[in-house]
Amino acid sequence: MVKPCIRCGSTERYKGGRCKKCKRENNRNWYEANPERKKEYNRNWYEANPERKKEYNRNWYEANPERQRKNVRRWKLQAKYGLTEEQYHQMLIDQAGLCGSCDRQMDKTYEPHIDHDHKTGMVRELLCHRCNMGLGFLEDELFMKSGPVYLKRWSW
């Protein structure tokens, strides 16, 4: 005779007296209630099984390239600029899709770049690639001194 699940009464038993569905729900509830212990458990498992973790990641990246690209972008926005995807898109809407410097429409050719102060890290506006690169050179004191001299030397 098959004993029923102790939670829902289903006859599909699993370890611990619960069916798979109830076991999964029980685990999810425990993870939500104990996030630090779950992180510690995962960290220990990763350290004990580095090859299995690498293989899992490799397979996931191959199966989910678009999600991986979005995850990396989201992580970079947060880590480098302290922005969320929503804040980035709101900046693009506020600027009507135009470069903050030259007012060109930003698209695949003039893809938006986040302009920020390299000393303070403060985000300013979105710029097209061309303006972002130019501004980067203008902020470099050595370039500001040597650039005009170089151009003058080669002017006809």
Angle of the 50-63 helix axis to the 35-48 helix axis, nearest 10: 100
Q: Is residue 39 pLDDT above 90, yes or no? A: yes
Confidence of residue 42 (pLDDT cuts 50, 70, 90): very high
CATH classification of 84-156, choosing from 3.90.1640.10, 3.20.20.70, 3.40.50.300, 3.40.1800.10?
3.40.1800.10
Residue 155 confidence (pLDDT): 74
Q: Is residue 6 pLDDT above 90, yes or no? A: no
Tell me which H or E stretch contains 147. helix 141-153
Predicted TM-score (pTM) of this structure: 0.60
Q: Span 136-154, mean pLDDT?
A: 78
Residue 134 confidence (pLDDT): 85
Cα of 24 vs its chain's centroid, Å:
28
